[in-house]
């Protein structure tokens, strides 16, 4: 498999020049307005450089999907994976920053989230291909930003340095900040994929407390006493009529 993106050592310099000289950069062939302030790459945490976006254009994936009549009881994934080793490492680091292990469940990498993301961005469907463009560019943006701020690739940063960058792009309100709009949108997309893949894994299902998908003989048992007590309280707090169990009118 050929690499679709080759990281370049001189990237930091070219990024500095790009963001200094141009008012627009190309994103997937579409010009996007950027902050034109003079970039002052600073090593001080919290002083981000001016806007830049890699604008990597990817060759569309044209391979076959699973078709309109797959054998759903024995699924297979026909498309080749496309993330390179560096990108996979970076996705792994980001996945665990987004979804770390805690007292209630494992980390994203412990349940194989990066593999799901590779499968996702490599799929030949239009939605996934849009995500691929956003993810591949976002990963490169993080490396560029890390170079500009700390002269290092993202994965080699310290925890403090990584979060300094993520804190600038991890919130929807940051869509409004010109230079962070595209990186923040990338991060939202990545977060959605990471948590989606985590909570839909067997460990994630246990973590979130979904306890369905098991056959029950006889009538549907309905809410537990605890759940009924809780909903009665909620209704009462809202000033609603009391919760009553439905009486069959037949």
Partner 1 sequence: MASFDGFEYEVLIVGSGAGGGMAAHVLTEAGVRVLLLEAGRDYDPGTETPMFQQNHEAPLRGSSTSEKNFGYFDATVDGGWQVPGEPYSEAPDSRFMWWRARMLGGRTNHWGRLVPRFTAADFKPYSTDGVGTDWPVDYEEIAPWYDKCEALIGVCGDNPGLDDTPSSSEGVLLPPPKPRVMELLLKSACESLGISAVPMRRAILTKPKDARQACFWATPCGRGCAIGAAFQTTTSVIPWARQTGNLKIVTNAMVKEVHLDDYGKVSGVTFVNRLNREDVRVDADHVILAASACETARLLLNSKSEAFPNGLANSSGQVGRNLTDSLGAGVSGYIPALRDRPKYNEDGHTGNHLYIPWWDREGQKNNELNFSRGYHFEVGARFSSPGMGIAGAVDGYGKQAKNDIRSNFGTNIGLSLRGEMLVSDDCYCEIDKETVDQWGIPVLKFHWKWSDQELNQVAHGLKWGRKIIEAMGGVVNNPDRTAEEAIEAGGQIIHEVGTTRMGHDPSTSVCDQWGQTWDVENLFIMDGGVFVSNPHKNCTITILTLAMRNATRLAEQINLSMER
When asked if residue 105 is in the footprint of partner 1 (CB under 8 A), the reply is yes
Measured in Å, how far apart are the chain's first and last C-alpha atoms? 65
* Angle, helices 85-98/126-150, rounded to nearest 10 degrees: 90
Interacting residues with partner 1 between 140 and 169 (CB under 8 A): 166
Residue 31: DSSP 8-state? E
Q: Residue 175 interacts with partner 1 (CB under 8 A)?
A: no
Per CB under 8 A, does 230 bind partner 1?
yes
- 42 to 61: interface string for partner 1, x by CB under 8 A: --------------------
Q: How far is the CB of 191 from partner 1 (least distance, A)?
A: 6
Which SS3 state, helix, strand or coil, does residue 26 take?
A: strand
Separation between Cα atoms, residue 98 and residue 113, nearest integer Å: 11
Contact letters for partner 1, residues 191-210 (x by CB under 8 A): xxxxxxx-xxxx-xx-xxxx
Asked if residue 5 binds partner 1 (CB under 8 A), the reply is: no
Residue keyed to tokens 């007292």: 103
21 binds partner 1 (CB under 8 A): no
Binding residue for partner 1 (CB under 8 A) from 21, 38, 62, 102? 102
In 10 A of CB 77, how many CB atoms? 11
**How much of the chain is in helix, strand and coil states, percent to nearest 5?**
50, 5, 50
Minimum distance between the CB of residue 80 and partner 1, rounded to whole angstroms? 13
């Amino acid at each position: 498999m050929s690499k679709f993106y080759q990281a370049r050592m001189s990237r930091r310099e070219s990024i500095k020049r790009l963001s200094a000289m141009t008012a627009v950069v190309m994103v997937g062939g579409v010009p996007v307005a950027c902050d034109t302030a003079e970039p002052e790459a600073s090593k001080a945490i919290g002083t981000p450089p001016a806007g830049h976006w890699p604008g990597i254009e990817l060759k569309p994936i044209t391979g076959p999907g699973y078709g309109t009549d797959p054998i759903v009881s024995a699924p297979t994934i026909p498309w080749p994976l496309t993330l390179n080793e560096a990108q996979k490492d970076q996705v792994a680091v980001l996945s665990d920053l987004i979804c770390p292990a805690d007292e209630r469940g494992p980390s994203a990498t412990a349940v194989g989230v990066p593999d799901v993301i590779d499968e996702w961005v490599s799929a030949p469907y239009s939605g996934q291909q849009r995500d691929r463009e956003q993810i591949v560019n976002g990963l490169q943006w993080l490396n560029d930003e890390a170079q500009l701020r700390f002269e290092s690739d993202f994965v080699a940063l310290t925890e403090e340095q990584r979060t300094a960058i993520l804190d600038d792009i991890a919130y929807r309100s940051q869509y409004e900040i010109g230079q962070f709009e595209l990186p923040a949108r990338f991060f939202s997309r990545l977060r959605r994929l990471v948590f989606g893949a985590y909570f839909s894994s067997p460990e994630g299902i246990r973590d979130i407390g979904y306890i369905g998908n098991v056959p029950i003989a006889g009538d549907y048992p309905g809410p537990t006493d605890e759940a009924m007590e809780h909903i009665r309280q909620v209704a009462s707090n809202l000033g609603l009529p009391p919760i009553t169990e439905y009486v069959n009118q037949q």
